[in-house]
Structure 1
Amino acid sequence: MGRPRVTKWWRATALAVLTGVLSTGPAATHSSADAGPAASSAGRDFFTYPAAATVRDLGDIASAPCPSDASQVCQGSTPSPYEPVLGNYPLDVTGLGVPLGGVGAGSFMVNQSGTFGPWFFGGSQDDSWEMRALPQAAFHVREQVGGAAATTRTLATEGPQVTGTTGPVADRSWESPLPAWNLLRKGEGSYAALYPFGWTNYTPFKTDVSMRFFSPIVAGEDRRTSLPVAYFDVRLANHTTATTDVSVMFTMPNVAAHEGRKPATVRTGLKSRFHTDATTGVQAVTLSADDPDNTADAAKSEWTIAARPRSGQKVTYTTSWNADGDGSDVYAPFEKTGRLTDAPLDSSASAGAVSVSMRLKPGQVSTVPFALTWDFPQVSFADNNTVWMRRYTDFYGAKETSRNDYVRGSYPFHQSFAIADDALAGHDRALRDVLRWWEPIATNPAYPVALRTGALNQLAQVPFKTALWEGGLVSNSVTPTGGRRLGTSVPGTHLYLGIDSPAGGAANGGMGTEVGTFSYLAYGQVFPTIERDRLRAKVEAVLADPTGDPYDPSVTSSTDPSVYTTNGDPFVTRIQGPQPAPGTVWFIDRPSENAFRLYDYARSHHDRKFLATAYPAMKKLLAYVQATIPAKSELPEAPSLLNPDPGLKSPLPYANVFDIIPVNKVDAYTSQLYLLALEAVIDAGRQTGEAPAQLTAWQAQLTRAKAEYESVFWDAAHHYYRYTPGPTATQDSVLLATFFAQHLAERAGLPDLVDPAHYRRQLAGTYSLFVSRTDAQGRLLGAPNMALPADVPSFPYVHPYLGTRFETEVWPSANYATAAAYYTAGRRFGDAALQQDGLEMAGAVATQIWQVPENGFQFDAPIGWNQARTDHYTYPAFESGLAVWEVLDAIQPVKIPS
């Protein structure tokens, strides 16, 4: 199914539009007190899951909002470049679910109707997810209790088909399973999710039938975390008084990773075969594609449907049935006997199936372990002119040179059966190793339930937004910027590319810059080599850039070489940063944040070698931001709406991560991050042998900058740090995330950036300004980015075109980061009220995202929503919600087992 896409991130779209206008559970391994409901029907023997899981009735997909004062794409209208400016575009989507697939391997969601979609397989085709489900992919159960008639059901419901006042809404619709199949009705089961696990149970059967699905995301380990593996454990419990014959069938089409996208994927030469491994007992059908004309992203690619039958279980299969038919050809033999023919039903090789049958005595419980694996080993960019191996191929034969290029011919291809064989043979160990890091978070009573939900389910963003996690460069015909691509300096570097939102938008290079600082803690704890390697790439880019603050790599689906040679071939081409000067650099928070992240990775991972490598880049980033400090000042000057520099070519200067919120030259957020960068560089310099004279000079700059910060921003009348100097001494406003940098400094053990007394007083005194608004059910809506004291009637500066949109938005990232600051400060000052405020603030946004399905935010959380209403939101599926990990770590440091 096609999906209209936003091909540039919404900020750039808004800029272009307005400039143009102006120009013209696992089984009970946790305590019973923390267990969630085992089923929607009392007394059933299903897989259990923790209370933190998000739970919905299967197929009960709420209607997503469509207010009349925002984009009307939700009514079926054709999107225009104005949609992001209006709000609510890209659309949020209800009914999404857990993604399956390793990081960088390509992934798809098992959605709340039980089907496989949406999809995100990376490469230049994916600057947003592909809104498709697979009608041919499903599980099916046949049950015959004693001598009664058999019941056969497909374990999925119809997909949502949303139609608005002007036509179908493709962005919120997906396909149903094939018409010949006997589907479940809405509510005949439940869906639970706590990443990386999902659980479904099914009530129409007399046998208790449930499923657990997951991918082996093993924190801190690249091998299993990168694998293209999806486990499906089907649990069958016979608590009837009769012997029951039960069969489970898994059907899967032989599909391409990309459909209906540019550059087009060519995948022909379909084949299929049956495998068995006598040693492990794994039996499987593999669906492949081999043709010399196939594009790189489909070359020698394949799918494997595998099962590892246990005692008393019997496998049957078919290597081919008609994926373009109604499904009756594969359903008929299964419906009749529960078994397949062990032969092809046609010659198309377009779909395959595996069935496992067993007889269960009364009281007997049996679990059937299935796996779906795939081998799409190459991912391509720039219209297939740049091709990389995926990270998982390194563990199945691929070799790399010291410059991290792929050694041609080293990967054997056609490895999906080998991956499935290993996965099922290692199933129990994989489950144990995932639980080892997951359970201490999922069931930890120190963490409020809503925050456990938010932390783990938000982590699903990582595999589902990964355009590239590479295992070596295969080929490239694009001229690299500066003569060489990034990622060649340190052997063993594996570049990572994520996009800021898989709902639509361009890549941010996985680094995230001003956005990624809110999310990097989760990466550093669960995916530490990803964080390390993208920082290695950042070091290379900074040192190679003439100015010292280059833009992150981007991705384009264009087939025009003029596009990808300038800004669309990640890690090969890159954009030089602007020349720094006061008031001329957009997102001037970025260089300070990058300097701190380099420092903090080395600190938290005790990696002095990394610090030594990164230190020259840290110095260059500091020099860059210092070049924006005007004469007779100590703080960086951001682009100002009041006096936009002509070189900006826009009336919409972006000062920092808060985009178009107006700044009068300096702001408390950016300036505090500069203080953080200075402290980080000073401490790094001490550790790496920097000259004493330089350290003394920096320390003097830091002392003066802190003093100026207090004098410019502290408002003694309102007892807070004003965001930016107002037109008068008392006409000002306060930013929720004022103390983001202070929190990072405290977490890193660096000295205070601000006066501790002022810090505590602002937290205590401004909470009621931010947190009070509720929805119609009385649930808190969260804190907006900006607030006004009672004696200031309006914001001191209002954007002439977008008004106070971002001032009045609730950003989960800012709420979580500020909540962490509240909690940490409460512990530091012995102030339980501050700690409670932090928990309430974080819990409010987590509740709106994960416990209010009609918002459409589950697995699709936006950058923010309006302070008074969640039905007006901005930019779904945004990464920065991973800031919830800051709150967990503040409550109790997250310890990931090595």
Structure 2
Amino acid sequence: MKLKFISVFAFHVVAFALGLSTVSPAWGADGIPKAAWERPLGLPLANPGVTLKSGDIDDGYWQGVPVGGFGAGTFSRSYRGDFARWHMKAGVHKYEPVYANQFAMFQQSEGDAHGTAQALMNGHPTGGQLSSWQWDYPVGAGNYYALFPKAWFDYKWDKFPAHVTLEQYSPVLPGNYRESSYPVAVYRWHAENPTNKTVVVSVLLSWTNMSGWFRTFTRDFDGAPSQGNYNNYVSEKVGDAGTMKGIVFDRSRSGASPNEWDGQFAIAALESPGVEVTYQTTYQASGDGKAVWAPFSKDGRLTNDTKSWVSDKERLAGAIALRFTLKPGEKKIVPMVLSWDFPVVQFGEGRKWDRKYTDFYGTSGKNAWKIARDGLTQASAWSDAIDKWQAPYVNDESKPLWYRGMLFNELYALTDGGTFWGRQAGADLKGPTSFALLECFDYAYYGTLDVRFYASLPLLKFWPDIDKQVLREFADTVPKEWPELGLWVWKSQILDEPVTHKRKKIGAVPHDLGVPEGDPFIAVNEPGWQDTNNWKDLNSKFVLMVYRDYVLTGRKDTAFLRETWPAVKDAIEYLRQFDHGGGVPENSDYPDQTYDDWVVHGVSAYSGGLWLAALRATEETARILGDRKAVDEYHALFLKGQKTYISQLWNGKYFRYDTSTDSRNDIQTDQLAGQWYANLTGLGDIVPREMQIETAKTIFNFNVMKFGDGQMGAVNGMTEGGEILTNAEAKEVWVGTTLGYAGLLISEGMKDEAWKTTWGLYHVIYETKGYWFRTPEAWDITGNFRAGMYMRPTAVWALEMTPPPTK
């Protein structure tokens, strides 16, 4: 594809063709969707949320939309303008601003003796680093907008005569299993001159050579080595688009095959008529930065210095500047790219994997320039494709504007959640890949099944092949055993003595696919807090997700059903050992489900309802596959279980938490999770419709409206008298389970209640507590949180995917 610098006229033509005309009330005149979350640049937040749990990650609210594709490694620039969050090593979170990674801008009007040069960060380094640069861009001089995978930095400062907006994105695209994996970030500068004088504009991108830095499991860069690093200037003619110029950041290597920390970054831009690219190949990132700032602040150019050396231990950086002139009224869009190539993932026990993007770029770790070239030549097409994907949702005025933005912004976790996507090193490229999100970085389990029951909805909707492959991996584990023993931490604390359990039993669906510090995808079901072999929700959830993936991808993939059918039957049979005669598996007097610190015993609303829905899913699967005997067996078991479930738990207003613990009469928000999935997949009534409606109303009146004045979501549990419970998890709002409940409300025709419930989450995340792009699992009545950057909140897509009731 030939890249042209797009005129504003061409932009509007494309927008009109996509249904994005600026006259649409859902899109602003600047091309930024009105659904995008907005915040003044660098504006601090009063009374932000803090972690409730000592030791949990709490980096604060300086966050932003991440860049990077699925499994490619990700990082993000905060809305104050610093690059601070790094998820480059799979499963590892680092948060530390790297100040030489920075954008800056120079502008000068015709006739002015001097221009204005400014680093585009609302703050400055400490310790004298880059002291020659002009820091502290004014707080509030413009706005930050976010609609994942895009973000916009809209700079409006009275010292800048031209209006410049930076559009940022990676090509995360629906149904796309290639570009969605790319390690590339596109930064398109939208510049407009509203004055009556010609204006020179130059934008600078400086970057640190971070090769070798991503090798530890620590949360910062203390001790990050720079020995052996070096920078190279590269120039290449790219067809009619112009000449691509930039810098590749590399390091010396011990052999042809890269280590996990070996790889490259690259920064690049296109020089063409009217657009000049200059460069400084190498400078010391920890120095005063004069080699860059002195020439840039003079006229917006760098010195075109190609000098390069190999670092002893000093940190190296390089910079490029993209300079152009705007006549009065003129507009231009010019791209920059930042790419990286770190092809190897090596988990704690030493096994090596190749990231998915290496299917297209190879495994040498020396292709950052090639990736950057693709980013430059495809920048416009990718931007348009993202807009086209989002348009039907952001234009849907039947739904609240705040929700339309939340719908996409909560998808950040799909790329930034420690995401892994790849295959074992040296494996056949035609074979399957492994994919998983981390539950979160505090609870670093890959693919946590009880959580992905909620979180995987958008993955299924937009990348169904990936979701089915994940379920195939879980299915493969069901008939297998991992006999080694691990410590059962919760039980050991209760008894004050070590209690062990088998890692994974035959027939049990594992809780997870392993941990980054172990051997994930090989050694599954990492021992930990609870013995999950006897959990009562995992097997049911697995069965329901298999059937869900079949139904929501058109009811055509019978091969997928047939392939997973043995594991589905084994999963159901395994749970039947806990049925003590009533047709419903009974909970075992410990937290044996996703609420893993909330004891449950006997027949329970949550696990029992999931079981009934799973029986219906298994019955329907058997019918599709022509297994008549299984159809009759599962239907009979469902009828028996349904009778027990209702008779033991229904109290006329809701289903009781369970039959035997102190919590037995409590109102649990998630009690109809099985019915939600039944509505989602067309399985029909798990319990009579009038009971569904009455229960949903009770939950709303108590768990939503009696908690935080109805402005914080749905608390997990409430007493029958409307009091907050004392259990650590029962007294929390869980974002993802609240969204599952909101999906249930949609399916029951209770739209007002659904929006009110979901708005409470939005209010906490985006308006009061500063949880944007680090959405936690939970918060309590104070709004303070536990387990940030959690997987489950992507369940916001439950409101889109759960159909309303049929008339």
TM range (shorter): 0.7 to 0.9
Distance verdict in 2 for CA 1:382–1:298, change over 3 Å = closer
Match of 2:44 in 1: 61
Match of 1:308 in 2: 270
Distance verdict in 2 for CA 1:348–1:742, change over 3 Å = same
Match of 1:627 in 2: 577
Distance verdict in 2 for CA 1:516–1:293, change over 3 Å = same
Match of 1:354 in 2: 320
Mapped to 2, the partners of 1:345 and 1:336 lie a distance apart of 21
Following superposition, the deviation at residue 849 of structure 1 comes to 1.1
Q: Name the aligned partner's letter for residue 188 of structure 1.
A: A
Q: Name the aligned partner's letter for residue 579 of structure 2.
A: I
Matched, 1:141 2:109: no
Distance verdict in 2 for CA 1:703–1:191, change over 3 Å = same
Match of 1:426 in 2: 378
* Aligned partner of 1:759 among 674, 687, 692: 692
Mapped to 2, the partners of 1:66 and 1:683 lie a distance apart of 45
Mapped to 1, the partners of 2:460 and 2:532 lie a distance apart of 32
Q: Which consecutive residues of structure 2, in runs of 5 or more, have no partner in the other structure?
A: 1-10, 482-504
* Aligned partner of 1:733 among 666, 674, 683: 666
Aligned ranges 1:152-301 → 2 under 5 Å: 152-158=117-123, 178-183=130-135, 184-204=137-157, 205-256=160-211, 258-259=213-214, 261-262=216-217, 268-271=227-230, 272-279=232-239, 280-281=241-242, 282-292=244-254, 296-298=258-260, 300-301=262-263
Match of 2:601 in 1: 664
Deviation by residue 1:632-673 (Cα, 9 ceiling, x = unmatched):
221111121xxxxxxxxxxxx322112222323221110111
Mapped to 2, the partners of 1:331 and 1:221 lie a distance apart of 41
Mapped to 2, the partners of 1:720 and 1:608 lie a distance apart of 37
Match of 1:789 in 2: 720
Match of 2:562 in 1: 612
User: Is the contact between residue 92 and residue 857 of structure 1 (CA under 8 Å) also seen in structure 2?
Assistant: no
State the TM-score, normalized to the length of structure 2.
0.87
Following superposition, the deviation at residue 104 of structure 1 comes to 0.5
* Aligned partner of 1:706 among 624, 638, 642: 642
Q: Name the aligned partner's letter for residue 584 of structure 2.
A: L
Aligned ranges 1:109-128 → 2 under 5 Å: 109-123=76-90, 126-127=91-92
Q: Name the aligned partner's letter for residue 234 of structure 2.
A: F
Distance verdict in 2 for CA 1:891–1:277, change over 3 Å = farther
Match of 2:333 in 1: 367
Matched, 1:454 2:420: no
Q: Name the aligned partner's letter for residue 475 of structure 2.
A: V
User: Is the contact between residue 773 and residue 782 of structure 1 (CA under 8 Å) also seen in structure 2?
Assistant: no
Match of 1:805 in 2: 728
Match of 1:799 in 2: none
Aligned ranges 1:514-553 → 2 under 5 Å: 514-545=450-481, 547-549=506-508, 550-553=510-513
Distance verdict in 2 for CA 1:444–1:623, change over 3 Å = same
Match of 2:701 in 1: 768
* Aligned partner of 2:657 among 715, 720, 723: 723
Following superposition, the deviation at residue 569 of structure 1 comes to 0.7
Deviation by residue 1:488-518 (Cα, 9 ceiling, x = unmatched):
9x9531101321113x2322x22x2111111
Deviation by residue 1:677-697 (Cα, 9 ceiling, x = unmatched):
11111111122232x333222
* Aligned partner of 2:291 among 312, 325, 329: 329
Deviation by residue 1:243-286 (Cα, 9 ceiling, x = unmatched):
12221111111113645824997664323231313414222221
**Root mean square deviation of aligned Cα:** 2.9
User: Is the contact between residue 67 and residue 169 of structure 2 (CA under 8 Å) also seen in structure 1?
Assistant: yes
User: Is the contact between residue 212 and residue 226 of structure 2 (CA under 8 Å) also seen in structure 1?
Assistant: no
Match of 1:882 in 2: 794
Distance verdict in 2 for CA 1:837–1:676, change over 3 Å = same
Distance verdict in 2 for CA 1:731–1:420, change over 3 Å = closer
Mapped to 2, the partners of 1:497 and 1:206 lie a distance apart of 47
Aligned ranges 1:92-107 → 2 under 5 Å: 93-107=60-74
Aligned ranges 1:342-741 → 2 under 5 Å: 342-344=304-306, 347-348=309-310, 350-382=316-348, 385-396=350-361, 398=362, 411-474=363-426, 492-502=431-441, 504-507=442-445, 509-510=446-447, 512-545=448-481, 547-549=506-508, 550-557=510-517, 568-575=518-525, 585-605=533-553, 606-630=556-580, 632-640=581-589, 653-690=590-627, 692-716=628-652, 719-725=653-659, 732-741=665-674
SS of match in other structure, 2:674 = helix
Deviation by residue 1:46-99 (Cα, 9 ceiling, x = unmatched):
x442222221121123255478xx85xxxxxxxxxx726xxxx33262121100
User: Is the contact between residue 228 and residue 310 of structure 2 (CA under 8 Å) also seen in structure 1?
Assistant: no
Distance verdict in 2 for CA 1:419–1:176, change over 3 Å = farther
Q: Name the aligned partner's letter for residue 756 of structure 1.
A: R
Mapped to 2, the partners of 1:367 and 1:55 lie a distance apart of 22
Mapped to 2, the partners of 1:522 and 1:61 lie a distance apart of 32
Distance verdict in 2 for CA 1:257–1:865, change over 3 Å = farther
SS of match in other structure, 1:83 = coil
Count of paired positions: 747
Following superposition, the deviation at residue 417 of structure 1 comes to 1.0
Match of 2:747 in 1: 824
Mapped to 1, the partners of 2:125 and 2:706 lie a distance apart of 32
SS of match in other structure, 1:190 = strand
Distance verdict in 2 for CA 1:751–1:423, change over 3 Å = same
Distance verdict in 2 for CA 1:159–1:112, change over 3 Å = farther
Matched, 1:869 2:802: no
Following superposition, the deviation at residue 602 of structure 1 comes to 2.2
SS of match in other structure, 1:139 = strand
Mapped to 2, the partners of 1:278 and 1:822 lie a distance apart of 54
Q: Name the aligned partner's letter for residue 34 of structure 1.
A: P
User: Is the contact between residue 149 and residue 172 of structure 2 (CA under 8 Å) also seen in structure 1?
Assistant: yes
State the TM-score, normalized to the length of structure 1.
0.78
Mapped to 1, the partners of 2:120 and 2:28 lie a distance apart of 20
Q: Name the aligned partner's letter for residue 657 of structure 2.
A: Y
Matched, 1:840 2:806: no
User: Is the contact between residue 514 and residue 587 of structure 1 (CA under 8 Å) also seen in structure 2?
Assistant: no
Following superposition, the deviation at residue 439 of structure 1 comes to 2.0
Following superposition, the deviation at residue 527 of structure 1 comes to 2.6
User: Is the contact between residue 62 and residue 80 of structure 2 (CA under 8 Å) also seen in structure 1?
Assistant: yes
Following superposition, the deviation at residue 416 of structure 1 comes to 1.0
Percentage identity across aligned positions?
25
Following superposition, the deviation at residue 473 of structure 1 comes to 2.5
Match of 1:859 in 2: 773
Following superposition, the deviation at residue 118 of structure 1 comes to 0.6
Following superposition, the deviation at residue 533 of structure 1 comes to 1.8
Match of 1:44 in 2: none
Distance verdict in 2 for CA 1:63–1:819, change over 3 Å = same
Distance verdict in 2 for CA 1:374–1:153, change over 3 Å = same
User: Is the contact between residue 514 and residue 525 of structure 2 (CA under 8 Å) also seen in structure 1?
Assistant: no
Mapped to 2, the partners of 1:222 and 1:731 lie a distance apart of 47
Q: Name the aligned partner's letter for residue 673 of structure 1.
A: L
Following superposition, the deviation at residue 206 of structure 1 comes to 1.1
Mapped to 1, the partners of 2:667 and 2:600 lie a distance apart of 12
